[in-house]
Structure 1
């Protein structure tokens, strides 16, 4: 990961989205997608969907396709970014309001 960050200093800007207390879901997902594209060897203009397709086509030319080696879908990457954001905020001792994250407040009967 450090090699990827040193080769792509623009990813540091994306990492700040996880340190900020109020980024939008789109900011977190976008930062995560850029980082994953870089980790899987894509360019700055590549999307995760395009990179996933290119990787699949390249691997389909060989005898075996290893689905586990494909980049995640953008939807899966977004869910991962939300979990990562939550974990970083926990490390920073920031208590997040869980109802803002899709949780429902329990009512006692």
Structure 2
């Protein structure tokens, strides 16, 4: 739909079931929708083969946002469609779109601050699901970079994935970068330590918290199997780093 030439009409059939009749749609018909020019951004940002879905936010719900705020979403779509858009601009545009998806106040421009406000509201409820909180700015940045990479791939502009939200693991396979931020401020991490006496296995408190053991740990002092991982370097200039990401 987003890339179909104007002189070609493609038809889609949605099979009926029970009392629901079979429906036939055409590309030209769908291109009349308000968000037709932003369909690549809508599809990739809300989750496709190479990008994550947003917890609790359906494609239908996000499509309604695109319909209700066409000026905002079209402007952001233009940024993501630009071949020479900088990572900083992508990060800012992605954060703005996420704030709109989570219905943040218009004056709010910081995703971390809004996430904290949402956490305070959730903490007042008898039951709360932390997964429904908005993502952090760090996670938003990596998601937005992968969305940009996918849109450019659809537009025929392949880019090096390791510069746009992906990293190559020890096994050579590209894996999404969730965030480059620490799991918690250093002042808090320094208060977490284990007292394992038989090795830092699956029951290790540090391992459960998602951090490596350190010198403050009572027995292992960080010299265990859960010690600090070895950092890997990635050569972005290698031709093998070019991954062709396509949404089936």
From the CA coordinates, give the structure whose radius of gyration is larger: 2
1:3 aligns to 2:76 (yes or no): no
- Between Structure 1 and Structure 2, which shows a larger proportion of helix residues? 1
Cα distance in 2 between the residues matched to 1:67 and 1:100: 30
Larger RCO of the pair (alpha carbons < 8 Å, separation 6+): 1
CA RMSD in angstroms comes to 2.1
What residue is the counterpart of 1:87 in the other structure?
Answer: 150
TM-score, scaled relative to structure 1: 0.85
Task: Output the TM-score relative to the length of structure 2.
Answer: 0.40
- Equivalent of 2:90 in 3, 28, 31: 28
Q: 1:43 aligns with which of 105, 111, 125?
A: 105
The structure where strand makes up a greater share of residues is: 2
Aligned residues: 106
Contact 1:11 1:34 in 2 (8 A): no
Q: Which residue of 1 aligns with 2:32?
A: none
Q: Which runs of 4+ in 1 moved over 6 A?
A: none
Unaligned runs of 5+ in 2: 1-61, 165-233, 239-248
